[in-house]
Amino acid sequence: MSGEWQIMQIVILKDSVEVAAYGANIFIKQLQKKADSVLGLATGSTPVSLYQQLIAANKAGEVSFAKVTSFNLDEYLGLEGAHPQSYRYFMNQQLFDHLDIDTANTFVPPGDADDPIEACERYEMQIAAAGGIDIQLLGIGRNGHIGFNEPSSGLMSRTRVKTLTKATIEDNARFFATDEYQPHLSITMGIGTILDAKKVVLLATGEAKAEAIRATVEGALSASCPASALQLHRDAVLVLDEAAASQLSDCEFYKHIETENQKLQAKLAR
Ligand SMILES: N[C@@H]1[C@@H](O)[C@H](O)[C@@H](COP(=O)(O)O)O[C@@H]1O
């Protein structure tokens, strides 16, 4: 449980370096507690330095991934895993290739599936067969999307095919060459799938995410901001840098809660 209050825990740190270290520490502790953890993983630039710290911890022998199973949030529909812009390729490059993980236990939705609808159902079954996700890592889109659950996504949705918004396509265009095909469709875990994870850790850094974070934390629970669904989760932690937290009206209060929370945790640990 993140806090004894059973609300969204909000941790506001100085910068992206501190955010990555804090996030990595949560994952390291999880793996030290449960070696056969089922991890939910994310792509995008935000988790990259967290992954680098997991690799370093693995190489240092602090943590093993030998018994880990992982499920990624999403994949572009129409790209095969060998495509350099696919999320499977990204995960291999940024994380899996550098760990002692068995790649057969790393799952990414199949972007090249002949029958994507069936592939979505199978993905849900694979997650269930693994015993469910212990801890899910998330980034957030400027429009509040998590995975590829764009605004208007059903708050109870499961893994399915989703059309990307113009904003998301533009944001992710930086990864594609000018004349390169950029998919407009994806397979993504649903919001309901994400909410089923036992613990959720969302990282957000930079001012571009500030409005999405405000809507997530202080806005209404609404499909207009898919990440606001985390208000329903019993153990969600948002790890933010000052810039991403800059539009929150109650920053000081959240910092105060966190200080009190840490005091309580220290007392309980005695
Ligand atoms: N599907 C991914 C999301 O899972 C990710 O959270 C988002 C933000 O990426 P970044 O961390 O690069 O801002 O990008 C993509 O759209």
pLDDT in tens, 169-227: 998 899 899 889 999 999 999 999 999 999 999 999 999 999 999 999 999 999 999 99
Domain boundaries, given as residue ranges, for the chain: 9-195+207-269
pLDDT at position 265 is 86
Residue 184 has what DSSP assignment?
S
Q: From 16, 19, 46, 239, give the residue whose CB has the most ligand 1 atoms within 8 Å, as the site to mutate.
A: 46
For residue 41, what is the enclosing H or E element?
strand 38-41
Of all protein residues, whose CA lies closest to atom 3 belonging to ligand 1?
147
Q: Are 168 and 148 in contact (CB under 8 A)?
A: yes
Q: Of 150, 196, 233, 241, which is the active-site residue? A: 150
Residue 267 Cα to ligand 1 middle (Å) = 37
Question: How many angstroms separate the CA atoms of 210 and 212, rounded?
Answer: 6
Residue 3 Cα to ligand 1 middle (Å) = 26
Q: Please, what is the average pLDDT of the chain?
A: 95
CB atoms within 10 A of CB 269: 6
Determine whether 74 is an active site residue.
Answer: yes
Per-residue exposure over 115-130, b if at least 16 CB sit within 10 Å of its own CB, e if not = ebeebbebbbeebeeb
pTM of the full predicted structure? 0.95
Residues near 148 by Cβ (< 8 Å), separated by ≥ 6? Answer: 73, 74, 162, 164, 168, 186, 187, 188
Q: Which atom of ligand 1 is nearest to the CA of 138?
A: 6
Determine whether 112 is an active site residue.
Answer: no
Residue 60 tokens, joined: 């240092």
Determine whether 241 is an active site residue.
Answer: no
Residue 204 Cα to ligand 1 middle (Å) = 10
pLDDT at position 250 is 87
Question: How many angstroms separate the CA atoms of 16 and 44, rounded?
Answer: 14
Classified by CATH at the fold level, domain 9-195+207-269 comes out as Rossmann fold (3.40.50)
Nearest residue to 191 (alpha-carbon basis) of 200, 182, 204: 200
Q: Of 75, 134, 145, 233, which is the active-site residue? A: 145
Question: How many angstroms separate the CA atoms of 111 and 103, rounded?
Answer: 17
pLDDT at position 261 is 87
Strands 160-163 and 74-76: unpaired
pLDDT in tens, 225-248: 999 999 999 999 999 999 999 999
Determine whether 207 is an active site residue.
Answer: no
Question: How many angstroms separate the CA atoms of 151 and 137, rounded?
Answer: 19
Residue 172 Cα to ligand 1 middle (Å) = 8
Angle, helices 48-59/16-33, rounded to nearest 10 degrees: 50
pLDDT at position 6 is 58
Q: Which residues of the chain have pLDDT under 50?
A: 1-4
Q: Which atom of ligand 1 is nearest to the CA of 46?
A: 11
